[in-house]
Amino acid sequence: MGPSSVALLLAVISLTAALDNGMLKTPPMGWMAWERFRCDIDCKDDPQNCIGEKLFRDMADRLVEDGWKELGYEYVMIDDCWTSMQRDEQGRLQPDPSRFPGGIAKLARYIHDRGLKLGIYADIGSHTCMRYPGTPLDKIVIDAQTFASWGVDYLKFDGCYSNPIEHMLGYPLMSKALNATGRPIGYSCSWPAYEGGLPPNVNYSLLGEICHLWRNYDDIQDSWDSVQDIIGWFANNQDDLQPAAGPGRWNDPDMLIIGNFGLSVHQARSQMALWAIMAAPLIMSNDLRNLDNSARAILQNKMAITINQDPLGIQGRRLLQEKSRIEVFWRPLSNSASSLVFLSHRTDMPYLYHTSLAKLQYEPGNYEVYDVFTSSTVKGLNATTVFTVSINPTGVVMWYIYPRKQSRQQVERLRHQQRKKTNVFRKFKAEHHSVL
């Protein structure tokens, strides 16, 4: 197939592939297996942690019983390594029978009965990244139909063992095939991550028409270095990435690793804060059965979640990158509110950062501030007032900011005071007319 034929086929696909199911108007929230449990398939010696139906039932139970579901964490996501090494006689993907003895449809019912949703994983190539059966172009329709018949609610479609032409054809084709099933299925594309993540290789206008969200960059690892690398890449390329995001179409910097082994408490707050500012999916990959209280408090922080889930859906931006290794991020929110994050890349000691809202491009006026992680408030902060925040090494200060609105009584009092001043001036002017 020549380049002109490919371009024509892609144009036809894109005209018919738009995801028109009204899903994911705010970033998805839930839990995914990959970063924490990888491809552990040893259910004989490690039955608590292997990729099998018990693990996903356990996580569903935790989401419901430990307060996650009511905060919005509703997806239970299967990642790689779930399938048998062979398709069935009808050419359909099938789960490994020893690790998923009840099948995916039964697991979906278990999850749905708890008011949750099930996500699953496939790959556009000949094999998945861990060399399980892939979904090449001729298998896209049957795999979409299979997922829908099982009651799957979300598909992560990876891109290993394939090439740019297959990506260009396969990702829109899967979108069309999912639509054709009639079942609302969230669609996560890994396409940009395999094409460098940036224009001109990545067409974000097309992605917004065919996918609900997409992986842009490298897989996250359980380390602060990995989190910093992802934050830096998104900030350095925000002029290309930030406009692509909005309700129903999200940039995905990958999973939340809070509660695992690689982040301190301050670094965990930093990841939560920046993912909220970036309007990123809040998909945890940890062991919800063994989560300490500090990790739970960060991941269940209601204000951080509220900021992340803001219905305007505008992705935040980095405003400043200081020589002191402090960075300032900002996100506009509904009802004239906004959020600021002061991030420290320092490793020595807490840093006192001095600024004002006016210096951060805020309009004149008075504002009230809620500190997301300390729950403290600042009232009546004028835009021109210089303030100081103390930011711990590799940590953040995260603010929710809203204009101070005057009550009707305050407005009437100000008007009355203005009228009094006007009357006093008129009287003075009349009495001193000859002088004036």
Q: How far is CA 27 from CA 53, 57, 147, 205, 285, in A?
A: 26, 23, 22, 18, 16
Q: Is 158 noted as a catalytic residue in this protein?
A: yes
Q: Is the peptide bond before 200 cis (omega within 30 degrees of 0)?
A: yes
Annotate 211-279 with three-state secondary structure: CCEEECCCCCCCCHHHHHHHHHHHHHCHHHHHHHCECCEEEECCCECCCCCCCCHHHHHHHHHHHHHCC
Q: What is the DSSP letter of 83?
A: B
DSSP 336: G
**Distance between start and end Cα atoms, the chain:** 90
219 is known as an active-site residue: yes
User: How far apart, in whole angstroms, are the C-alpha atoms of residue 253 and residue 80?
Assistant: 18
Catalytic-labelled residue, pool 58, 66, 218, 219:
219
Active-site residue (options: 80, 96, 143, 158) = 158
**Residues listed for the chain:** 436
Integer Cα distance of 132 and 147 in angstroms: 17
Helices (H), 257-404: 265-277, 293-299, 302-308
DSSP string spanning 163-227? -HHHHHHHHHHHHHHHHHH-S--EEEE-GGGGTTSSTTTS-HHHHHHH-SEEE-SPPP-SSHHHH
Alpha-carbon dihedral angle through residues 425, 431, 435, 436, given to the nearest 10 degrees: 30
Residues serving a catalytic function are 158, 219
